[in-house]
């Protein structure tokens, strides 16, 4: 068993004490302000990474009073994760439960929140199914992602509904070169993708496309002795045009495919998916004001089926955003804007009582900085069909009390409107559901040195009207989540180590039970070494025993998912500046474990890939 105290020793063993030389791993892109992910230039100087979404404006991450992780494209490649949920589960404060392999349903719990408590933005646009109430991440192609920004803590004062636990902001591919990638692995995994761009005077054209598939493994061995795989195709085309009237951008994304699964409910065991997104954007600097506007349309279609039945669900969302921002010479920054979106159920397997709702919102925020003192505040007013008005706010303060040391504290409110399924799906729905509401606090201390970065954060969230239930959705009077996050990054010459530990205490106050599938203790560790053209890494991911809920009829608790540690290792070799080979072995010890009751996980498996980048 992998004890947390043993994990802590890995930090010291991989990073000898007294180190004062800082050399980068060229295959790893990381971020300065999150100790769990750090990256530097080849000369050893730290990269100044930017937060785009935490305060809706570009700011150095060290100037944002929130817990943030940023992964850029080179870091995504270097980590060699099998898919997006697996990549996110390596980051501080995130746990994952999975109903099988790649393509099957995966639930992400950010700081103990429900899956629907994390808002997913794709290129700044609210994303996800209106019937489900969240964005399924299992079929989001990792190959089509340029950048990921994870903001831990409430952000409803900026973005409205859903951002109780945090925000996952995804930027799709914006390659400035010709890139080719191909890979293969266990369980019939194979895929390839290409990205290219062309600039003609003020016009820049970009395109990315790819395919991937896998035969998979048996998701639920007790139900159906088959392999459950997936297949998908994806395409993005975009254009940017710079003129005297601002920067104009237009893009279209299409992602389609299918995934197979096992279920004890009915005979349907396959899902066809189709996601489309269209975006028109504009931004312009006028004197000291930065103006931005966007108009988008998203389309989400999921049809579960078998040989004798089909259950289609299609939702659409139209959204408009406008904001204006400026920085005054006194150190005062200001942002304000409007947000409007309409979501509707265009098609469903069963009739819904309501199929449309509109959200109208205004928001504003201030940021003030004087010497070592920082203050932030934001507020938002939402007017939503059938729910009247919601007002959310957040306040934060930070103080640099010593060189490279900062203490910060924040408090914020958030809410989530029930999904169409929770409100109107026959046999499950409860039209009397109230919106979930939360009050969150965080206190953190951080150190940002050249070869050592650390952060210790305590957080507390109280959720009223939490929506729970399987046969009937209902509001729980109160649920609480408390936790501690500790992250540390250490580098010495060619050695580099990332370590994070998260402790969670979750409770449904109506019955005194824990919230399902949130392990109390989680450890993620990654150690790497670079020599000339070679790079190697080893990972260890630990979860303590995890509560799996109770039987619907008897009320008896299911056995906890046992504690487990999963080890992995990988290699990278740069044949030339353009050509890189990578290989990874996952679950080295062939650990038999599960994160979702009744569902299998992959045993020992491998993947290999090749990347060609022509600048």
CATH number at residue 357: 2.40.170.20
Residue 13 has pLDDT above 50, yes or no: no
Residue 37 has pLDDT above 60, yes or no: no
Q: Of 173-182, 304-313, 337-346, which gets the smallest average pLDDT?
A: 304-313
- The whole-number pLDDT of residue 226 equals 86
- Cα(38)–Cα(36) distance, integer angstroms: 7
- Cα(377)–Cα(65) distance, integer angstroms: 10
Q: Of 59-63, 103-107, 141-145, 280-284, which gets the smallest average pLDDT?
A: 59-63
* DSSP bridge pairs for 571: 536, 583
Please report, rounded to a whole number, the percentage of residues in the chain having pLDDT higher than 90. Answer: 72
pTM: 0.91
Residue 26 has pLDDT above 70, yes or no: no
- Whole-Å CA distances, 241 to 125, 231, 280, 284: 20, 34, 12, 12
Instruction: Give the H/E segment covering residue 422.
Output: helix 420-424
Identify whether the C-beta of residue 88 lies closer than 8 Å to the C-beta of residue 82: no
Confidence category of residue 309, pLDDT binned at 50, 70, 90: confident
- The whole-number pLDDT of residue 25 equals 30
Residue 428 has pLDDT above 80, yes or no: no
Q: What is the mean pLDDT of residues 137-164?
A: 95
Written in H, E and C, the secondary structure of 68-97 is: EEEEEHHHHHHHCCCCHHHHHCCCCCEEEE
Q: What is the mean pLDDT of residues 532-544?
A: 96
Q: What is the mean pLDDT of residues 121-140?
A: 92
Confidence category of residue 471, pLDDT binned at 50, 70, 90: low
Residue 43 has pLDDT above 60, yes or no: no
Confidence category of residue 470, pLDDT binned at 50, 70, 90: low
Confidence category of residue 114, pLDDT binned at 50, 70, 90: very high
Strand-pair category, 67-72 with 495-508:
unpaired
Domain count, the chain: 1
- The whole-number pLDDT of residue 452 equals 93
Average pLDDT of the chain, as a whole number: 89
DSSP 40: B
Q: What is the mean pLDDT of residues 295-310?
A: 90
* DSSP bridge pairs for 604: none
Helix, strand or coil for residue 150?
Answer: strand
Residue 305 has pLDDT above 80, yes or no: yes
CB 275: neighbour CB atoms within 10 A? 24
Confidence category of residue 15, pLDDT binned at 50, 70, 90: very low
Q: Of 62-66, 375-379, 444-448, 505-509, which gets the smallest average pLDDT?
A: 62-66
Confidence category of residue 550, pLDDT binned at 50, 70, 90: confident
- The whole-number pLDDT of residue 237 equals 97
Q: Residue 306 is encoded by which pair of tokens?
A: 């078998």
48-55: list long-range contacts, CB under 8 Å, 24+ apart: 51/149, 51/151, 52/149, 52/169, 52/171, 53/121, 53/124, 53/149, 53/151, 53/155, 53/167, 53/169, 54/149, 54/151, 54/155, 55/158, 55/335, 55/365, 55/367, 55/376, 55/378
Confidence category of residue 551, pLDDT binned at 50, 70, 90: confident
Identify whether the C-beta of residue 213 lies closer than 8 Å to the C-beta of residue 188: yes
- The whole-number pLDDT of residue 23 equals 28
Residue 442 has pLDDT above 50, yes or no: yes
Q: Of 10-24, 40-54, 439-453, which gets the smallest average pLDDT?
A: 10-24
* DSSP bridge pairs for 347: 314
Please report, rounded to a whole number, the percentage of residues in the chain having pLDDT higher than 70. Answer: 92
Q: What is the mean pLDDT of residues 464-474?
A: 80
512: left (phi over 0), alpha (psi -120 to 50) or beta: left
Residue 555 has pLDDT above 80, yes or no: no
**CA-closest candidate to residue 533, choices 574, 588, 565, 505:** 574
Q: What is the mean pLDDT of residues 58-64?
A: 85
Of residues 36 and 137, more confidently modeled: 137
Q: What is the mean pLDDT of residues 338-360?
A: 92
Identify whether the C-beta of residue 359 lies closer than 8 Å to the C-beta of residue 338: no
- The whole-number pLDDT of residue 48 equals 55
User: Which residue range is the domain that position 189 belongs to?
Assistant: 4-614
- Cα(116)–Cα(125) distance, integer angstroms: 16
- Cα(186)–Cα(288) distance, integer angstroms: 54
Helix, strand or coil for residue 501?
Answer: strand
- Cα(526)–Cα(539) distance, integer angstroms: 4
- The whole-number pLDDT of residue 475 equals 87
CB 308: neighbour CB atoms within 10 A? 8
- Cα(221)–Cα(512) distance, integer angstroms: 33
Helix, strand or coil for residue 102?
Answer: coil
Q: What is the mean pLDDT of residues 194-217?
A: 95
DSSP 13: H
- Cα(380)–Cα(364) distance, integer angstroms: 7
Confidence category of residue 349, pLDDT binned at 50, 70, 90: confident
- Cα(116)–Cα(162) distance, integer angstroms: 6
- The whole-number pLDDT of residue 266 equals 65
């Amino acid at each position: 068993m992998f004890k947390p105290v043993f994990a802590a020793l890995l930090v010291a063993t991989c990073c000898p004490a007294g180190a004062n030389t800082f050399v980068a791993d060229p295959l790893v892109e990381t971020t300065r302000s999150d100790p769990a992910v750090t990256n530097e230039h080849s000369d050893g100087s730290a990269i100044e990474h930017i937060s785009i979404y935490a305060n809706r404006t570009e700011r150095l991450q060290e100037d944002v009073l929130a817990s943030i992780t940023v992964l850029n494209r080179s870091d995504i490649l270097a980590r060699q994760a099998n898919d997006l949920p697996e990549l996110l589960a390596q980051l501080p404060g995130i746990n994952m439960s999975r109903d099988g392999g790649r393509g099957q349903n995966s639930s992400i719990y950010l700081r103990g929140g429900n899956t629907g408590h994390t808002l997913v933005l794709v290129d700044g646009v609210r994303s996800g199914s209106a019937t489900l109430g969240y964005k399924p991440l299992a079929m989001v192609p990792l190959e089509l992602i340029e950048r990921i920004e994870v903001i831990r803590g409430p952000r409803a004062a900026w973005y409205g509904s859903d951002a109780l636990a945090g925000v996952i902001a995804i930027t799709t591919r914006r390659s400035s070169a010709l890139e080719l990638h191909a890979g293969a692995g266990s369980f019939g995994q194979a895929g390839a993708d290409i990205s290219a761009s062309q600039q003609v005077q003020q016009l820049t054209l970009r395109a990315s496309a790819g395919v991937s598939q896998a035969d998979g493994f048996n998701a639920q061995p007790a139900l159906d002795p088959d392999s459950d795989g997936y297949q998908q195709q994806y395409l993005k085309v975009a254009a940017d045009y710079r003129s005297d009237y601002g920067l104009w951008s237009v893009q279209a994304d299409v992602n389609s495919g299918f995934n197979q699964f096992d279920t004890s409910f009915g005979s349907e065991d396959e899902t066809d998916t189709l996601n489309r997104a269209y975006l028109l954007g504009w931004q312009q600097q006028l004197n000291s004001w930065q103006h931005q506007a966007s108009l988008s349309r998203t389309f989400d279609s999921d049809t579960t089926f078998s040989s004798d039945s089909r259950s289609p669900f299609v939702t659409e969302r139209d959204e408009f955003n406008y904001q204006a921002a400026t920085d005054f010479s006194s150190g005062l920054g200001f942002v304000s804007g409007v947000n409007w979106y309409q979501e509707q159920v265009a098609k469903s397997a069963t009739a819904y009582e309501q199929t449309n709702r509109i959200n109208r919102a205004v928001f504003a925020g201030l940021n003030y900085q004087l010497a070592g003192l920082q203050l932030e505040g934001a507020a938002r007013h939402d007017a939503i069909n059938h729910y009247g008005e919601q007002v959310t706010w957040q306040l934060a303060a930070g103080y640099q009390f010593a060189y490279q040391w900062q203490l910060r504290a924040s408090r914020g409110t958030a809410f989530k409107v029930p999904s169409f399924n929770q409100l109107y799906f026959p046999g499950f729905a409860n039209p009397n559901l109230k919106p979930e509401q939360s009050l969150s606090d965080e206190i953190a201390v951080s150190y940002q040195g050249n070869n050592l970065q650390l952060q210790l954060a305590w957080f507390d969230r109280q959720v009223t009207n939490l929506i729970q239930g399987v046969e009937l959705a209902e509001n729980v009077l109160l649920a609480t989540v408390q936790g501690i996050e500790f992250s540390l990054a250490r580098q010495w010459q060619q050695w580099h180590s990332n370590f994070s530990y998260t402790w969670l205490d979750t409770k449904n106050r109506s019955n005194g039970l824990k919230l399902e599938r949130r392990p109390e203790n989680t450890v993620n560790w990654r150690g790497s070494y670079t020599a000339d053209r070679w790079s190697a890494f080893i990972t260890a991911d630990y979860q303590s025993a995890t509560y799996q809920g109770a039987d619907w009829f008897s009320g008896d608790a299911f056995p906890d998912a046992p504690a487990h540690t999963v080890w992995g290792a990988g290699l990278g070799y740069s044949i030339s500046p353009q050509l890189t080979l990578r290989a990874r072995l996952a679950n080295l010890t062939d650990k038999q474990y599960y994160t979702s009751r009744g569902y299998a996980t992959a045993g020992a498996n491998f993947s290999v890939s090749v990347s060609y980048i022509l600048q």
